[in-house]
Amino acid sequence: MKTFKNVLLVALFFVTATVLGQTKLTGKVVDEMGEPLPGANVVVKGTTNGSATDFDGKFMLNASSESGVVVVSFVGYNKKEVPYSGAADLGTIALEPSNVLEEIVVTASGVIDLAEDRKTPVAVSTIKASEIQAKSGAWDLPEVLKSTPSVQNIKGGAFGEGQMYLRGFDQTNTAFLLNGQPINGMEDGKMYWSNWQGVMDVANAVQVQRGLGSSKLAISSVGGTVNIVTKTIDNKRGGYVKQTVGNNGYTKSTAYYSTGLSEKGWSFSAMFGHWQGDGYVDYTHGQGQTYFLSVGYQPSENHTFNFMLTGAPQWHAAAGRGRISEFLENGIRYNSWNTDNVDSPNTLGNSKVYPGGRNIYHKPVANLTWDYTINDQSSLSTVLYGSMGRGAFASLSSSNGGLYARGSNNNHNWFGLVTNYNNELSENLSLNVGADVRTYNGIHFRSANEFITVDSIDNTTGYSGSFTVDKVFGGVNPWSLLFNPNNDHKQRLPYYDYEEVITYYGVFGQVEYSKDALSAFFQGALSNQDHQREEFLYTQNIGKSEKSKKVSNLGYNLKTGAAYEINEQHKVFANAGFYSRQPFHDDLFENTRDSNELIDPAVENQEITGLELGYQFGSEKVSVNLNGYHTTWANRTVLRNNGEDFDTPAYESYQTQGVKQVHKGVELELMTRPFEGLKLDAFVSVGDWKLEGNATQRTFNNQGDEIGTATEIEIDGFNVGGAAQTTAGANATYKFSSQFSIDANWNYYKDLYSIGSLTSKALKLPTYNLTDVGFTFRPQLKEKTYIKGIEFRVNVDNVFDEMYLESVNGTTTASSNPSENWKGINTSNNGRFGYGRTWNASMRINF
């Protein structure tokens, strides 16, 4: 009994010492208008010990030392350091707005290349979590970014088909990163936003770095880099439920919860959502889910681990482009693929789901991060990630006198590692070195994804092998496709069954010097890509394959820059860079049936040269960013076809080498706070994007044989199409009270050109402008309630229901007959009109 008492006394002593050794800190964080900033980070300087503010901006933090400094930060605001001595109420801490991301990212902090991690600036804009969640509604991420300088959003015809242009470069040439992980397709650089529906629900912020950016990876950022930063370890317990409804039967339900950080260093957070809708364009309905799971562990102040899993299984019917005359006759919601509609009895209901095709896909992404604070001067950050994508584009086809849905499957297994070591060599000099390794296995084949009026397909005609396809495996359900993919070559359709393996490995480094008003950096990266293609042959021995030669391409990039702070309000900077960028995998091989043959002559590296100048001004009421840029994109290879069916003799493909385009322009961004309660921002971007010189074009048939001889085509002076070269916008938010606010944004688009054919000049499209309005109401709640806050939100987009051409594929000039034109555009061209007036409303309950 005496021994037990002694043990109890010793335990009580340690518990008491631990409690007494902790310093309790409290306070409240507000914005420049005095409004609470929920989700702001409060961290003890030099440690990972921190907390997040609640819905009212309040925080409580136990520090292990009796004195020190806490660092307070929030997305889009300058961080503030507040000293403390003993347990204290730090009072109200007001943060000043900034145009860069100053939030402390708890995990992968050394891998996520944010602009503020480097003292030498870049052209950058940051969109806060509150703005993303308020304005996203039923849209993809590019729609939320449209009020950023030099960004053009194209909604597309259906759910998840949005496109983004940055400084005139499409999204295949803009690098997208999720918590430091590259997410552009490794085969072709493409982005499919239907796979990333959930990121807007869990994003802390999105940072758009235009041009050279601050990324150290050897990524294909010709236009720029978009960093999507999600929640990971959430220090505060709580969550929310949210319900959204919108036009055309749209509905979305979302729930999120976090346990907060336990005394043992563990934290768990999860989000799940479901959405569905009919689509704005006729017969483009869809549905899907979004999920997110984060498990964090902090065994000590020097180590932080986090596991994250997210995905967005979905299906949606697609919309086709059509002649402008067809839209004018049938309305802008017209789906040019309507002629293929059939009633399809399936697990998704008896509905018209194949107007021309349906996208079915599930791409879960997982990563494990480790942040190691080695000492006061050095740290190591590592991200290990993987993705397993399964999906298909299913369209109607016929066999044995009946109909089935033929799926063009695009599956992949993708794994990678990014690691970065940071060392503050001295007070003025810092060093970053790291590595980036990725391996990708793409799996492509055609299959029967749904039997409609037949129950099997006989594959005998024209093949030396004979077999029957009578299974659908995952079919039309994205969850089933993930867990039950078609791995049986005898259940695949011939002449479209191949795989590729792409291996990428690179190293990068950066040195930055900073003293007083001057900062300068030098950055470099070296990488190698290996490509190999495997074609499966349909002979008597079904499943036999042949592999291509392995192709290796070496690439590199070099960037340097300097900045000078004239005084506290004025700063100037200049950056320059050169990329030797490897071609995409799809650019290397012939686009023909059963072919592992490389394109001849071989495709060489592209060469990108970027120059930037910038000026920044900041005061209490006004901030200004002025940027000038000049980007040369040379030695491009462009692959196109004549639009005929790949399986027909009429099909032709065109390989154009030596294409060069030059993008130059000026961007002005203005952020003001004229008086209490009002925020007024504006921007204008003026660009001049043109092709230069001549190029060499070759023509091939569907067997890969060259037709005729190479010809020189004249492209000098052609305008680059797809995005408006002159854009402007204004955004205003006014808070009538702590409970009610209204916001509006106006966007203007001019000098928009059609996407041409490289053999004809692009058409200049009509100028247009769009106005959106939003309303937010947060009712006052009684204290000491489980509900921390309620928010009602209403968005109305394209308030004035303006009719405008979003994009055009064609070069047919205006007709002499006015009835054959629309605002100066010949209506025989193919294109798509943008959406008319749309709306969505939501209610969010925080607890």
pLDDT tens sequence across 33-63:
566 776 677 888 877 677 777 656 788 888 8
Q: Which residue range is the domain that position 732 belongs to?
A: 229-846
Please tell me which residue, 627 or 655, carries the higher pLDDT value.
627
The amino acid occupying position 789 is G
CB 16 within 8 A of CB 268: no
Pairing status of strand 606-618 against strand 622-641: antiparallel
Class of residue 26 by CB neighbours under 10 A (exposed 0-12, middle 13-18, buried 19+): middle
Task: Report how far residue 411's alpha carbon sits from residue 195's, in angstroms, rounded to the nearest whole number.
Answer: 13
Decide if 202 is inside a domain: no
Whether 31 shows a pLDDT value over 90: the answer reads: no
> Which residues face 505 on adjacent strands?
437, 528
Specify the pLDDT at position 111: 66
Whether 730 shows a pLDDT value over 80: the answer reads: yes
| Residue 280: φ, ψ to 5° | -70, -40
- Residue 87 per-residue DSSP state: S
What average pLDDT does range 430-450 have in this prediction? 92
What percentage of the chain's residues is helix, strand, coil (to nearest 5)?
Answer: 10, 55, 40
The amino acid occupying position 331 is G
What average pLDDT does range 777-806 have in this prediction? 88
Q: Is 188 helix (H, G, I), strand (E, B) or coil?
A: coil
Question: Which residue, 721, 603, 606, is CA-closest to 655?
Answer: 603
Q: How far is CA 463 from CA 457, 494, 545, in A?
A: 14, 8, 16
What's the pLDDT tens digit per position in 385-412? 999 999 999 888 877 777 888 899 999 9
Whether 1 shows a pLDDT value over 70: the answer reads: no
Q: Scanning the structure block, which residue is given the tokens 């919601």?
A: 333
- Residue 489 neighbours by CB under 8 Å, 6+ apart: 497, 536, 542, 543
Confidence at 108, pLDDT banded by 50, 70, 90: low
Whether 348 shows a pLDDT value over 70: the answer reads: no
What percentage of the chain carries pLDDT values higher than 70?
88
Q: How far is CA 42 from the centre of its chain?
A: 28
What's the pLDDT tens digit per position in 467-504? 788 888 888 889 998 999 888 888 888 778 899 999 99
Please tell me which residue, 681 or 345, carries the higher pLDDT value.
681
What average pLDDT does range 675-701 have in this prediction? 91
Task: Report how far residue 701's alpha carbon sits from residue 201's, in angstroms, rounded to the nearest whole number.
Answer: 46
Decide if 794 is inside a domain: yes
What average pLDDT does range 189-218 have in this prediction? 81
Which tokens sit at 190? 């493409």
The mean pLDDT of the chain is 84
What percentage of the chain carries pLDDT values higher than 90?
43
Specify the pLDDT at position 593: 57
The amino acid occupying position 525 is A
Specify the pLDDT at position 539: 56
Whether 764 shows a pLDDT value over 60: the answer reads: yes
Task: Report how far residue 669's alpha carbon sits from residue 126's, in angstroms, rounded to the nearest whole number.
Answer: 12
What's the pLDDT tens digit per position in 297-341? 989 888 989 999 999 999 998 888 889 999 999 999 998 875 544
Whether 7 shows a pLDDT value over 60: the answer reads: no
Decide if 680 is inside a domain: yes
- Residue 500 neighbours by CB under 8 Å, 6+ apart: 187, 440, 441, 442, 531, 532, 533, 534, 585
Cis peptide upstream of residue 97 (ω within 30 degrees of 0): no
Whether 736 shows a pLDDT value over 60: the answer reads: yes
Task: Report how far residue 778's alpha carbon sits from residue 34's, in angstroms, rounded to the nearest whole number.
Answer: 16
Question: Which residue, 111, 121, 125, 214, is CA-closest to 166?
Answer: 125
Specify the pLDDT at position 110: 60
Specify the pLDDT at position 265: 86
Q: Where is average pLDDT lowest: 220-229, 320-329, 432-441?
A: 220-229
CB 165 within 8 A of CB 223: yes
Q: How many CB atoms lie within 10 A of CB 765?
A: 24
* Vertex 84 angle, CA 80 and 88, to 5°: 115
Task: Report how far residue 132's alpha carbon sits from residue 153's, in angstroms, rounded to the nearest whole number.
Answer: 15
Decide if 786 is inside a domain: yes
What's the pLDDT tens digit per position in 118-176? 777 788 888 877 788 888 877 888 888 888 899 999 988 889 888 899 999 998 889 88
CATH of the domain at 806: 2.40.170.20
Specify the pLDDT at position 241: 94
Question: Where on the phi/psi map is residue 14: left (φ > 0), alpha (ψ -120 to 50), or beta?
Answer: alpha
Specify the pLDDT at position 11: 44
What average pLDDT does range 724-734 have in this prediction? 95
Specify the pLDDT at position 75: 58
Decide if 122 is inside a domain: no
Q: How far apart are the first and last CA of the chain?
A: 47
> Which residues face 771 on adjacent strands?
746
Q: How far is CA 156 from the centre of its chain?
A: 16
Task: Report how far residue 643's alpha carbon sits from residue 625's, in angstroms, rounded to the nearest whole number.
Answer: 44
Q: Is 452 helix (H, G, I), strand (E, B) or coil?
A: coil
Total of domains in the chain: 1
Q: How many CB atoms lie within 10 A of CB 94?
A: 16
Decide if 606 is inside a domain: yes
Model's pTM, two decimal places? 0.85
Decide if 63 is inside a domain: no
What's the pLDDT tens digit per position in 355-384? 778 899 999 999 999 989 898 889 999 999
The amino acid occupying position 785 is T
Please tell me which residue, 488 or 783, carries the higher pLDDT value.
488
Confidence at 347, pLDDT banded by 50, 70, 90: very low
Task: Report how far residue 324's alpha carbon sits from residue 327's, in angstroms, rounded to the nearest whole number.
Answer: 5
Whether 540 shows a pLDDT value over 60: the answer reads: no
Decide if 150 is inside a domain: no
CB 352 within 8 A of CB 399: no
